[in-house]
Structures are given as C-alpha cells and as structure tokens.
C-alpha cells in the first residue's frame, strides 16, 4: 500500500469518526428538538462513530488476520445498519405504518444479505485476499455481489424517497438526497480503486 493511500484512508476514517462523535455529543446536548429525532440522531451518529472506530482498528491490525477479521466484521455490520435506519427515517417522516410496509420488508431482506454475504465470502475465501506485503487487496466474486446488494438497497431507498417526496419537508428531502449522493460517490470510489489495484485496507457498506 502506498504512503499516500495510507494517509488518505486514515484521514477519511478519522474524519468520519470525529463527525460521528461530535454528532452524538450535539444530539445529546440539544433539548429543544423532537424526542424521536433526538434519539434517532444519537443512534445514527453513534453507529457512524463505532463503525469507523472498528474500521480504524481493522486498518491498524491488517497484518494480524484474526483481529483484522473481527474488526472488519464489526465495522461492516455496524455500517450496514445505516441502510434500514435510513428507511426507518423515511417511513417515520411520511407517517407510514412500518409493519405493513412492503418497502420496509424489502429493506430488511437486503440488509440481511448485506450481513450474510460478507460472512459467507470470508469463510469461503471469495470476499477478498491481502498480499503478504500488504501492498495489494484483491476483491473476489462475493465482494462484488455484496457491493451490488448495497447498490440495490440504496436504489430502493432512493425510489422510496422520490415516491414520498410530497410528504416530506423540503429540508428533509434535500438532506436525505445529499446522503444518497455521498453514498453513490463512496461506492464508485471503492469500485474504481479496486480496478486500479490501489485499494486501501478497508471495506464500507450504505
């Protein structure tokens, strides 16, 4: 792994970790906001902070397979929860019954796949392999299947957002839309970095 890729990855991880910590603190301190929204923000930013903390450990212990595998799994698991959390927020803002929502059930299925596929891939060696010199990461077939599931989940959330846009305030709509733009960009960066064989030692799922 090149020095620049190490600097870029650590900077991204630490920045996102800081955002998660600061967001959690701000959500806990604010009092003049809706209780549900406050609790949601606390959980949301806590998940971001915890996911990136484990991702940092995964990065630091990349040459220690047992620990690297544990930290990678925990980071991936926590990061994947952002998919149903976004769906939950959209349904709450549009005042829909979650138990009767086909959209919610579909998101839960995709979320289950986001968790199961990386585990299966790691157990079968079809997810990714790291060279002995730790200078290259080769992603396998199961990685791309997992990535596509994440893209499908993101697309389902985007379609749900567009269909419910009239039930949301303009601020709610554009904040969620910004989230989608950032997640699409991150998925694209991860894909092209592998194509150039210059990927960093980290895996992120939305």
pLDDT tens-digit map of 82-93? 889 889 888 988
How far apart are the C-alpha atoms of 46 and 43, rounded to whole Å? 5
**Is 206 inside a domain boundary?**
no
Q: Which residues contact 151 (CB under 8 A, 6 or more apart)?
A: 187
Residue 139's φ and ψ, nearest 5 degrees, are -85, 140
Domain assignment of residue 36, yes or no? yes
Asked if the structure places residue 78 within a domain, the reply is yes
Parent domain of 135: 3-195
Cβ atoms of residues 120 and 146 within 8 Å: no
Angle at 182 between CA 43 and CA 90, to 5 degrees: 50
Domain membership flag for residue 92: yes
Is position 204 within any domain? Answer: no
Contact 180, 160 (CB under 8 A): no
User: pLDDT digit string (tens) for 75-121?
Assistant: 878 888 888 988 988 898 888 888 889 999 999 999 999 888 888 88
Element (H, E) at 177: helix 170-195
User: How much is the pLDDT for 55?
Assistant: 83
Q: What is the pLDDT of residues 49-76, one digit of tens each?
A: 898 898 888 878 877 777 877 887 788 7
d(CA 144, CA 117): 10
Residue 205 lies in a domain: no
Q: Please tell me the total count of domains within the chain.
A: 1
Instruction: Look at residue 180 and tell me if it is in a domain.
Output: yes
Only one residue has tokens 């601020």, namely 171
């Amino acid at each position: 792994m090149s020095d620049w890729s190490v600097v870029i990855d650590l900077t991204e991880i630490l920045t996102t970790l800081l955002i998660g910590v600061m967001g959690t603190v701000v959500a806990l301190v604010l009092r003049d906001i809706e209780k549900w929204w406050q609790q949601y923000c606390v959980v949301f930013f806590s998940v971001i902070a915890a996911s990136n903390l484990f991702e940092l450990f995964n990065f630091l212990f990349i040459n220690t397979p047992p620990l690297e595998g544990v930290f990678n799994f925990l980071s991936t698991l926590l990061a994947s929860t952002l998919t149903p959390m976004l769906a939950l927020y959209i349904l709450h803002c549009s005042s829909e019954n979650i138990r009767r929502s086909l959209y919610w059930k579909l998101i839960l299925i995709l979320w289950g796949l986001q968790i199961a596929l990386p585990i299966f891939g790691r157990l079968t060696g079809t997810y990714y392999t790291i060279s002995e010199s730790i200078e290259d990461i080769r992603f396998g077939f199961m990685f791309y299947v997992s990535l596509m599931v994440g893209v499908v989940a993101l697309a389902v959330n985007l379609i749900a957002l567009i269909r419910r846009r009239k039930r949301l305030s303009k601020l709610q709509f554009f904040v969620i839309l910004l989230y989608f733009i950032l997640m699409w960009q991150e998925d694209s960066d991860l894909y092209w970095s592998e194509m150039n064989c210059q990927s960093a030692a980290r895996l992120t799922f939305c």
